[in-house]
Amino acid sequence: MIDVVVGPLDLAACVDEALAVQAVAFGLSEDEVGIRRHIVLRHLTCPGARALGATTPDGELVGFVYGMPNDRSHWWSTIVEPYLRSTGNDDWLDHAFVITELHVHPDFQGRGIGRALITMITDGAAEPRSILSAIDTESPARGLYRSLGYQDLARQVLFPSAPRPYAVMGAPLPLKRR
């Protein structure tokens, strides 16, 4: 993680910069970025929502994470709840800090930045566990989450308008360290 500092991020003030990182890391179109901009700004009004960023010495944002205490009335929870209920894991929606987004620019991946972002944000959580969703394929992101103690709670979760299925993962806090 040489030359990158992880710390608090005013995500509302730099939402466009953060979404530019997400667009490159996640392959979003301009239209998708526009939709996500409104979602991010709405999420930031939720109680307990907070963000961290990874910046270079010259101030370039190269990664970010944000999350909040989970609320069963939020859109994400209403989508994943039936899948979690079918696997006997719907109790994970209670008393959990949800990782809403975590993205690192591809030029900076593999340096421990994602690990630093997710461990630092969850270390500040009051909740005893964390949940997230990730594309349901073997990927470096899923490998990272597993190394931190996340386990699959439900797989083949379908979100409206998402072209690929997701897995919902959960981990007790604090996250595992190397």
DSSP state of 125: -
Give residue-wise pLDDT tens across range 7-41: 999 999 999 999 999 999 988 899 999 999 999 99
- Residue 85's H or E segment, with its range, is helix 75-86
pLDDT at 178: 82
Q: Over 60: is that where the pLDDT of 177 sits?
A: yes
Give residue-wise pLDDT tens across range 121-167: 999 999 999 999 999 999 999 999 999 999 999 999 999 988 899 99
- The CA-CA-CA angle for residues 146, 152, 155, to 5°, reads 130
- Alpha carbon distance 14, 123 (integer Å): 23
For residue 157, which phi and psi values (nearest 5 degrees)?
Answer: -80, 125
Q: In the numeric block, which tokens belong to residue 166?
A: 């997701």
Give residue-wise pLDDT tens across range 78-129: 999 999 999 999 999 999 999 999 999 999 999 999 999 999 999 999 999 9
Q: In the numeric block, which tokens belong to residue 75?
A: 């859109």
Rg (CA), the chain: 15
At residue 53 the predicted structure's pLDDT band, cuts being 50, 70 and 90, is: very high
Measured CA to CA in angstroms, residue 60 lies from 3, 5, 120, 159 at distances of 11, 10, 19, 32
